[in-house]
Amino acid sequence: MPSEPLLAGKVAVVTGAGKGIGRAIAEALAAEGAEVAILDRDRDGAAAAAAAIEAGGGRALAVGCDVSEPAQVTAAVERTVADCGGIDVLVNNAGITNTSTLEELTLELWSETIAVDLTGVYLMTQAALPELERRRGKIVNVASQLALRGAPKMSHYCAAKAGVLGFTRACAVELIGRGVHVNAIAPGPTETENLFGVPAETLDAIREELPIKRFATVEEIAPAVVLLASGNGDYFVGATLNVSGGHVM
């Protein structure tokens, strides 16, 4: 007799789910029975991801949302609750990646990166918390192995993602007594659009650093989120799963 899907009857919100890792996470959660609200500031991308899930027999809602804008975050959470009945899982995945030397790093680029990659996590968590507490839910924050290793020309990104890990641990301690589990994943180099435009010799050097000698596919990142979002993750509190091919151990 087939087992029940891990997330049957649950509602999951995934930010930045119009493409890349976020879309793979949304599809994996849907495959385990969750109804998924796909949030992305690219409304067309969100709609396409939701349509693909529904075409495969799942349930999905597309919501345009820039996670750095408080009013949009509030509206997206309210829309999800109204349409889906609540929120059981929040995956804070939305982020931007760009490079700059420290000397050339502008305050505008620093502020934009922090706003999306870190402040967006805070805004979404705060807005969804009443529902997550009511339903004893799960929060999974998508950080990066660069929060733990650092990288040249990425001080702003590394700072934002390190902030995500600190925020994860603090919220985990604060919220577990209220029934909300908070954890994170730290993906390594992954085959997404973020690699477009990176010189081939740079990619080769990064690949050579990896013990596994290859980049991840987005489908290899998603199962860690399914674990933390499901009942199988009930004993994880403030953990960071390094899905990095050995880049971080």
Residue 1 lies in a domain: no
Contacts of 34 (CB under 8 A, 6+ apart): 7, 8, 10, 11, 12, 88, 89, 229
Catalytic residue list contains 157: yes
pLDDT (tens digit, 9 = 90+) per residue, 132-148? 999 999 999 999 999 99
Residue 247 lies in a domain: no
Residue 39 lies in a domain: yes
Which positions of the chain have pLDDT values less than 50? none
CB contact at 8 A, 176 and 133: no
Residue 200 lies in a domain: yes
Residue 130 lies in a domain: yes
Count the Cβ atoms, other than its own, within 10 Å of residue 23. Answer: 26
Domain boundaries, position 142: 11-241
CATH number at residue 37: 3.40.50.720
Burial class (CB in 10 A: 0-12, 13-18, 19+), 112: middle
Residue 246 lies in a domain: no
CB contact at 8 A, 13 and 79: no
Phi and psi at 130, nearest 5°, equal -55, -40
In 115-232, alpha helices (H): 120-134, 146-149, 155-175, 200-209, 218-229
pLDDT at 195: 76
pLDDT at 48: 98
Residue 234 lies in a domain: yes
Give me the number of domains the chain comprises.
1
pLDDT at 196: 72
Residue 6 lies in a domain: no
The residue annotated as part of the active site, out of 157, 189, 233, 243, is 157
Spatial CA neighbour of 37 closest among 74, 1, 72, 89: 89
Instruction: Name the pTM for this structure.
Output: 0.97
pLDDT at 194: 77
